[in-house]
Structure 1
Amino acid sequence: MNGENMREILGCAVAALLLVGPAAAQSSYPDRPVRLIVPFAAGGATDVVARLIGSELSKAFNQTFVVENKPGASGMIGVDAVAKSKPDGYTLGVSPGTPLVVVPYLDPKSPFRPERDLEFITPVYDAPFILCARPDLPQKTLAAFLAAAKTDTREPSYGTVGIASVNHALHEEMARRSGTRMLHVPYTGEAPIMPALMTGQVDIAFITPASATGLIKEGKILGLASGGPGRVAALPDMPTISEVMGWPDYSAHTWTMLIGPKGMPEDVTARLNAATTRILADPEVQSRLAKLGLVAMGGSLADTAAFVRSEAKRFQDIVRLNDIRRE
């Protein structure tokens, strides 16, 4: 064999290794622990479900998925950490819609743009909000509360997970439709709102069933109405906002999404999507979520992209109608 033939063989071998190398690296994913960033404080629904999904992903991939809480700025701090991480699949996030379809479109100085900087992997759950109130609220129904708010010289206050959050937008839309004015009090996540409600620091707040149901049953907070199209199974006597106010097109719900930084290997993104969708299709996981008042989602990458586009338009319309600003 002459030198030229040897060089050709070696060249082919090197080329083959270069092609196989990335594929081999992807197929071995994950070979070390994966971070799951939650952009809100520990204890809220997003955090609870992220830990459940992280545990199930750990089983599916035989590797540890570690939840890390990075609250602040309506979820923007945590999601920005995901967006700016190395796109290798070892830093992911579980985020609600606020930092994905609301805040970045209100702030021209936003540190990231969702469509440019994030991979939307799989929707995890959907849940109706429950409109909760402090336990000593004089009005015991939503209709009575909104009627009183029109004439009360003191503006009623509402707590949210941050300025320009989904919760903020939904409260302002409710105020607009009912002809009332309310005072916005932002927090760093759902968990800190609960003691604020229980102690009367705020009058009302939209809370997920996972956090609200037990406290409502114990009488520690009031449940005025649910925001979904139907009643919450765990609280069948509680009416919906649509029932009470006659707003058939008003929907107050939240959802979470498994996300990663833009540019992740397609194979890794596809495997995470498939694994998460399988987990969410498991009857036991669905039952555990249902006990928290949550509905498991999942779906293909194409379905995920379509869902995000639809929700972005919905909330941008609400933001525009209510002149909500990022201040």
Structure 2
Amino acid sequence: MARRTLLAAGAASLAMPGIARAQGAWRPERPVTIIVPWAAGGSTDQMVRLVAPELEAALGQRFVVVNQPGASGSIGTRNALAAEKDGYTWAAGAAVDVGCYKVLGLLDTMLADWNLFFAVANVNILVANPQAGIRDFGAAMEAFRSRGASLAVATAGVSSAGHNMMSAVKAATNINYRHATYDGGNPAMIATVSGETPMGAVLLVEAAEMIRARRLIPLAVQAEQPVTLQGFGEIPSITRWLPNVPAPLNYFGIWCPKGVPQNVVDTMGQVWRDKIANSQRLKDYAAQRAAVFAPLYGEEAHNQAWKMVRQTAWLYFDGGTAKVSPDTLGIQRL
């Protein structure tokens, strides 16, 4: 009987994923929750629903995606921050949001408070409904100058990537517009497709399918160079019209608060090296939606994301939306 028990235990051990068998590795004993603090279908939701199956395959446990939108992503992020620090609750989104919540007075947290694991970097884009009569970014600028605060632009809310893009445009040109906020990039994109708003500032990954279907007109990407979208073609860079608008990469991923057991962080680092860095699903997603495959984690992830945090925090301050001066938080101008 003892021999059978040993054989069964050995067989079970062989059946476990190699990463989970490593000595001292984290072995989640129950499902792990990843909180997406935005509506379903947006850029964060898309990314997490590709990452979760890879984590399940690596660790042999379910990773459950839960959408908790509201307050520019700070509600879901606050819930992850307040959860027990045991590795079973993670948050997701754009690192620049986590890095700027304190500047905006939304949540008392900073980028350094989290263990960061990135999957992709996304590009911001301004799009127009085909019926709006706006065919390129130059025409959009003319519309802003002539119609100003009556011209609505849909975004995923304050601190969202699209709002950050519009803040950079406003800082460079002094134009005005009406900020129409939604609970995520997908609702903002749908609002623009339906004609509820004439334009939307979202992420290219969120608008890609509707651009390919010719239901949205891509006006410009916030990138240093034009971006080619599969099935559509080249989308011009905003620098054609505004050469000095900054375009740092916008990193997306999952994170857990500092203070979780070290073996959780170490195991996830190994998963990122062995599984996420080789994920064909994520590579295909990035290629199809003109994102950048960026499987970064740890200090490298923090250092890369910090560039956009610095730029964005000061955009908020200069635009009058910051509640706390970035320099009091150790965030220096670029």
Asked if TM exceeds 0.5, the reply is: yes
Task: For 1:91-130, list aligned pairs within 5 A.
Answer: 91-97=89-95, 99-107=97-105, 110-115=106-111, 118-130=113-125
Mapped pair 1:269 → 2:265: yes
Distance 2:308 2:96 in 1: 10
Corresponding letter in the other structure for 2:251: W
TM-superposed CA distance for 1:38, in Å, is 0.5
Q: Counterpart of 1:55?
A: 53
Distance 1:282 1:186 in 2: 36
Q: Return 34-43 or 312-321, whichever deviates more.
A: 312-321
Identity of aligned residues (%): 23
Q: Compared with structure 1, are the counterparts of its residues 214 and 306 closer, same or farther at alpha carbon in structure 2 (3 Å cutoff)?
A: same
Name the residue aligned to 2:173.
178
Matches within 5 A, 1:5-44: 27-44=25-42
Q: How many angstroms does 1:91 deviate by? A: 0.6
Q: Deviations along 1:148-196, whole A, 9 cap, x unmatched? A: 3212366311111112334223202202322311111111101111221
Q: AA paired with 1:96?
A: A
- 2:328 corresponds to which residue? none
Matching of residue 299 in structure 1 with residue 296 in structure 2: yes
Greater alpha carbon shift after TM alignment, 201-210 vs 134-143: 201-210
Post-superposition Cα deviations, 1:9-47, rounded to whole Å, max 9, x if no partner, equal: xxxxxxxxxxxxxxx996352121110111101111210
1:260 paired residue number: 256
Residue of structure 1 aligned with 2:188, choices 158, 180, 193 = 193
Instruction: Give the CA RMSD over aligned residues.
Output: 2.2
TM-score by length of 2: 0.82
Matched position secondary structure for 1:43? coil
2:73 aligned to 72, 75, 79, which one? 75
TM-score normalised per structure 1: 0.84
Q: Per the alignment, do residues 153 and 160 of structure 1 end up closer, same or farther by CA in structure 2, a change over 3 Å counting?
A: closer
Distance 2:216 2:133 in 1: 13
Cα pair distance change 1:139/1:308, threshold 3 Å:
closer
Match for residue 201 of structure 2 among 206, 210, 216: 206
User: Tell me, what secondary structure is at the counterpart of 1:233?
Assistant: strand
Q: CA deviation at 1:131?
A: 1.1
1:125: Cα distance to partner? Answer: 1.0
Alpha carbons 1:103, 1:165 under 8 Å: kept: no
| Distance in 2 between residues matched to 1:66 and 1:292, nearest whole Å | 24
State the alpha-carbon separation in 2 of the partners of residues 25 and 31 from structure 1. 16
Q: Which moved more, 1:37-46 or 1:190-199?
A: 190-199
Instruction: Tell me what 1:321 maps to.
Output: 318
Aligned residue identity for 1:185 = A
One-letter amino acid matched to 1:206: A
What is the CA distance between 1:115 and its match in structure 2? 4.7
User: 1:136 is matched with which residue: 99, 118, 131?
Assistant: 131
Return 30-39 or 91-100, whichever deviates more.
91-100
Deviation at 1:280, TM superposition (A): 3.3
In 1, are the aligned partners of 2:117 and 2:295 still within 8 Å (CA)?
yes
Structure 1 or 2, whichever has the larger Rg, is 1
Q: 1:193 to 1:321 in 2, by over 3 A?
A: same
The more displaced of 224-233 and 185-194 is: 224-233
Residue type at the aligned position of 1:174? V
- 2:331 corresponds to: none
1:164–1:325 Cα contact (<8 Å) kept:
no
Could you tell me how far apart the structure 2 residues matched to 1:292 and 1:34 are?
A: 28
Assess if the C-alpha contact under 8 Å between 1:170 and 1:252 holds in 2: no
Are the equivalent residues in 1 in contact too, given 2:58–2:271 (CA < 8 A)? yes
Letter in 1 for 2:84: K
Distance 1:208 1:278, change over 3 A: farther
Greater shift, 186-195 or 310-319, is seen at 310-319
| Separation (CA, whole Å) in 2 of partners of 1:45 and 1:296 | 14
